[in-house]
Chain A
Amino acid sequence: MQLLSLAIWTPIVFGVLLLALGRDEHARLVRWFALLGAVLSFGLTLPLYVQFDNGTAAMQFVENLPWISRFNVNYHLGIDGISIWFVVLTAFITVVVVIAGWEVITERVNQYMGAFLVLSGLMVGVFCALDGMLFYVFFEATLIPMYLIIGVWGGPNKIYAAFKFFLYTLLGSLLMLVALIYLYIASEGSFDLATWQQLPLAATPQTLLFFAFFAAFAVKVPMWPVHTWLPDVHVEAPTGGSAVLAAIMLKLGAYGFLRFSLPIAPDAAHEWAWLMLTLSVIAVVYVGLVAIVQQDMKKLVAYSSVAHMGFVTLGFFIFSELGVSGAIVQMIAHGFVSAAMFLCIGVLYDRVHSREIASYGGVVNRMPKFAAFAVLFAMANCGLPGTAGFVGEWMVILAAVKFNFWLGLLAASALIFGAAYTLWMVKRVYLGPVVNQDVEALQDINAREFLMLGLLAAAVLWMGIYPKPFTDVMHVSVSELLEHVALSKLPL
């Protein structure tokens, strides 16, 4: 077995075993087994980083086996500087999520843990797939566990949220499926991504393909105006589900832009960049403003996710190395920070059972350790230098200013909104005097919660203070991608 296959299948095997054999009578055993699976899977991703060669843009750890010979579909895996950190991030977040669900989930523990482990393996698969059909299978298969996670363990309006999530994202990806089949026929029988990236395509097919991929990925990112599912789903999903959704599932869409839209339809990407930039800036500015007025903490963080993902797509469509690298760094940083924000809300929700900002006030008096973490993550969310959030945003803004001063200015203004909604929430929830009985009765975080938030805090600080490991690996791959995208694929 190769490393990438191990990284994909270890969590899936653990998850399936939990689903098949786990019983609520042995909940304790189930939890430890799930943790073992998650930690083992995370451990298996570390050699990927250690053995990774920064000097080449070629795919590494490649595995290529025939899968469905009739359609020439191959089990083709590999990672480059763009995808490697997402593999590690996915496995890391899964460990945190298993810890987060430890005491909170008491019913059908095996199904909860199993679903997250299977989901983790599938998402790693999306980041590793170099075959269009393999990518699609992993990409779509993630819907099944997430649908069940939201629907079974979610909040009061969970059913609406689960359906909205599933159908919204399915609509986008079905159009992508037609695009994949079109490419398969146009390339005379190949699902290989590298072949597709070299395939010359006329202007009209490129535009159609670009928008078919856009339908799939923009919904997943989500870009304005197809972002409306995200707040609804985040509010109803269980804490772990929200964390995985924000930290990783949104990145699947953004990653799709880098792997499919840009290299396969570069001319269309350049032609429609103005539209993408406009939508991104609207996401950054308008959705940022929407976030300010939210009453519900989870909704606020959900809107803040949309705004942050706006930075990501903004960085992509500037087509400069700084912009694209900044966007990728922003994706990783947002993975840590948004997961941490949702887990913080989860910590409060487990105790008070309310997500309303108005139900809290003066939490710092009762939970000083927890408040320290929460404020750190809030600072990272508004992009304070020295935290993970700063690096990516700063790179994207710099690239935007170089590209067009006014675009840069608009993007930079978002930092102000970001600070406004995050800090205002911090003020209302954590600072000030204790406002009611519920807050008075709060207990500070226990060792388990400390561990889970501590892991994320370490990651956030490390990435903010020393981002070199993150930027170094992607440098060559990103410049290779941009060189490729700069070449026209129109037939002469």
Chain B
Amino acid sequence: MMNSVNWMTALPEICLLSMACVITLVDLWVTSKDRTLTYVLTLLTLLAVAVMYAMNASTGQTLYGFGQMVVSDAMGNWLKCFATLAVMVTLVYSRPYASDRKMLVGGELFLLSMFSLLGMSVMISGNHFLVIYLGLELLTLSSYALVALRRDNGNATEAAMKYFVLGALASGFLLYGLSMMYGATGSLELSSVFQAISSGHIKHQVLVLGVVFVVCGIAFKLGAAPFHMWVPDIYQGAPTAVTLMIAAAPKLAAFAMMMRLLVDGMLPLAIDWQQMMMVLAVLSLLIGNLSAIAQTNLKRMLAFSTIAQMGFVLIGMLSGVNQGNTLSAANAYSSAMFYMISYVLTTLGVFGVILLLAREGFESEEISDLAGLNQRSPLFAGVMAVCLFSLAGVPPLVGFFAKLSVLQALLASEQLSSLVLAVFAVLMSLVGAFYYLRVIKVMYFDPPLTATTVSSQSHVKVVLAANGGLVLLLGVLPGGLMSLCAVAVVQALGT
């Protein structure tokens, strides 16, 4: 059984791939301006795939397939399920925006999204350096094309170029690090790498050099400082629909990549990579929060806020191993997972409002464009405010519990250094509160600049309201999602 192919482990991915091909063909005959048929088929496919992931996850089994190259465990399946749902919600928010901007002349938006989701799924399932790398490349190549989807738009093209060059550089880093690990351990499969490292026969310096490059590659993909330079430019330059596609679901895949490579593969080197993450976290919190204050462009501000939020995720990741003791590892990694999921949920709401406010010839991406939104649409303003308060970490919203669980994991080590880092993190989130509050101020306290009413299709409004409601509901009752993350991570660590 161990070395058999075991197709079942990749069944949802195979369905996703087949349907993506089918929809590509069907799309050739679609004539409607809004690509309604493609849209509906894509959503149905994604829904089916999400249900499959959820069913796999709820069995709680860990299965290996394709000769140990692919793993299907609860953590991976839940992350894939949430990523699929995130892509669905992204598409729902994006369609009106894309339709207004002639991005629906062909069905590429939907197809490339499906392929990038496939890339994420492969990345999350990977139990092997090359599989993870292949998934990552599928994701990023689809994303480059998505950013360039408005090829007549100068900003988008520039962003696509930057994204491609920097993304290729990051992939190079990662690949270089992985090849060094392969050279040192003689294996590409994660559990063999783990065993080789923990045997203690391999020269430490070689391993550490490899880890440095792997961590750099991951930090690039997460957008953690000092590897954050691409994030603001791409967020701002890409069409908002694509910004959301890059900002939301792939973060879950990046988290899984971090878990697979660093924890499943290189946990014995934790003392080394945790120190690097400490530096990354401090710099991300500092640079992200301070730079965000100066922004007037909402998308750019959110890009810097993302960098700061990733700092918190890294705090969760670096609290796992304390002086060689892995007792609190599950606690720490599940807090990071919870943080990432709540971040994705909140980001969807924020960008959803921006997307739905944009009209033909109007991007709605300056902070001042939101002036008086509360008078124009209390629903949109309410969802935006809930999401921003959540990002700022104000209870009773989900973002507060995410910060709480991460800080609790950090302080559990009972070291003075972690106390200092915790105080630094909360002071930085005070800075963060300032720029989130400023957006809320513009929406609620400033008079509207235009009397245009905000209108959108009712099903989009329902999704948006549910998104905001979920941010509040998971804040009032965070227990379920927290224990889901805990169970999944415990299981992932146990194998």
Asked if B433 and A167 make an inter-chain contact with CB atoms under 8 angstroms apart, the answer reads yes
Q: Which chain B residue lies CB-closest to A153?
A: B445
Query: Which residues of A come within 8 Å of B, CB atoms?
Result: 19, 66-71, 108, 111, 133, 136-137, 140-141, 143-144, 147-148, 151-152, 158-159, 162-163, 166-167, 170-171, 174-175, 177-178, 181-182, 184-185
Query: 8 Å CB contacts to A: which residues of B420-462?
Result: 422-423, 426-427, 429-430, 433-434, 437, 440-441, 444-445
Asked if A68 and B433 make an inter-chain contact with CB atoms under 8 angstroms apart, the answer reads no
Asked if B433 and A159 make an inter-chain contact with CB atoms under 8 angstroms apart, the answer reads no
Asked if A171 and B400 make an inter-chain contact with CB atoms under 8 angstroms apart, the answer reads no
Residues of the B chain whose Cβ atoms lie less than 8 Å from the Cβ of A178: 407, 411, 419, 422-423, 426
**Min C-beta distance of B38 to chain A, whole Å:** 35
Given contacts A68-B478, A148-B444, contact A166 B433 (CB under 8 A): yes
Mark B396-420 against chain A: 1 for CB-CB distance below 8 A, else 0: 1000110011011001101000010
Interchain Cβ contacts under 8 Å between A and B, 6 examples? A69-B479, A70-B482, A70-B486, A141-B395, A162-B437, A163-B441
A316 to B445, CA, bound (A): 39
Asked if B437 and A147 make an inter-chain contact with CB atoms under 8 angstroms apart, the answer reads yes
Main secondary structure of the interface of A (DSSP, over half): helix
**Min C-beta distance of B417 to chain A, whole Å:** 14
Which of A70, A71, A141 has the most B CB atoms < 10 Å from its CB? A70
A70 to B483, CA, bound (A): 6
A372 to B396, CA, bound (A): 44
Residues of the B chain whose Cβ atoms lie less than 8 Å from the Cβ of A71: 404-405, 408, 482
Given contacts A68-B478, A166-B433, A178-B411, contact A137 B483 (CB under 8 A): no
A69 to B480, CA, bound (A): 9
Asked if B479 and A70 make an inter-chain contact with CB atoms under 8 angstroms apart, the answer reads yes
**Min C-beta distance of B443 to chain A, whole Å:** 10
**Min C-beta distance of B26 to chain A, whole Å:** 40
Q: How many residues of B contact A (CB 8 A)?
A: 37
A144 to B396, CA, bound (A): 10
Partner of A152, one of B408, B433, B437, B444: B444
Residues of the B chain whose Cβ atoms lie less than 8 Å from the Cβ of A177: 404, 407, 426
Residues of the A chain whose Cβ atoms lie less than 8 Å from the Cβ of B477: 67
Q: Does B394 contact A (CB under 8 A)?
A: yes
Residues of the B chain whose Cβ atoms lie less than 8 Å from the Cβ of A19: 378, 382
Q: Which chain A residue lies CB-closest to B429?
A: A174
Residues of the B chain whose Cβ atoms lie less than 8 Å from the Cβ of A171: 427, 430
Q: Does B389 contact A (CB under 8 A)?
A: yes
Asked if B389 and A144 make an inter-chain contact with CB atoms under 8 angstroms apart, the answer reads yes
A5 to B437, CA, bound (A): 31
A178 to B426, CA, bound (A): 8
Residues of the A chain whose Cβ atoms lie less than 8 Å from the Cβ of B478: 68
Asked if A140 and B411 make an inter-chain contact with CB atoms under 8 angstroms apart, the answer reads no
**Min C-beta distance of A360 to chain B, whole Å:** 29
Asked if B394 and A151 make an inter-chain contact with CB atoms under 8 angstroms apart, the answer reads no
Partner of B408, one of A141, A143, A181: A181
Asked if B479 and A144 make an inter-chain contact with CB atoms under 8 angstroms apart, the answer reads no
Residues of the B chain whose Cβ atoms lie less than 8 Å from the Cβ of A143: 394
Residues of the B chain whose Cβ atoms lie less than 8 Å from the Cβ of A174: 426-427, 429-430
Given contacts A144-B394, A175-B423, A178-B411, contact A162 B483 (CB under 8 A): no
A348 to B318, CA, bound (A): 58
Asked if B482 and A162 make an inter-chain contact with CB atoms under 8 angstroms apart, the answer reads no
Q: Which chain A residue lies CB-closest to B401?
A: A68
Residues of the B chain whose Cβ atoms lie less than 8 Å from the Cβ of A137: 395-396, 400
Asked if A163 and B437 make an inter-chain contact with CB atoms under 8 angstroms apart, the answer reads yes
Query: 8 Å CB contacts to A: which residues of B477-493?
Result: 477-479, 482-483, 486
Asked if A68 and B389 make an inter-chain contact with CB atoms under 8 angstroms apart, the answer reads no
Residues of the B chain whose Cβ atoms lie less than 8 Å from the Cβ of A141: 394-396
Mark B360-403 against chain A: 1 for CB-CB distance below 8 A, else 0: 00000000000000110010001000000100001110001100
Residues of the A chain whose Cβ atoms lie less than 8 Å from the Cβ of B419: 178, 182
Residues of the A chain whose Cβ atoms lie less than 8 Å from the Cβ of B483: 69-70
Beyond contacts A19-B378, A111-B378, A163-B441: 9 other A-B pairs, Cβ-Cβ < 8 A, are: A68-B478, A133-B404, A140-B395, A141-B394, A174-B430, A175-B426, A181-B407, A181-B411, A185-B412
Residues of the B chain whose Cβ atoms lie less than 8 Å from the Cβ of A185: 408, 411-412, 414
Q: Which chain A residue lies CB-closest to B485?
A: A70
**Min C-beta distance of A203 to chain B, whole Å:** 16
Q: Which chain A residue lies CB-closest to B422?
A: A178
Asked if A167 and B422 make an inter-chain contact with CB atoms under 8 angstroms apart, the answer reads no
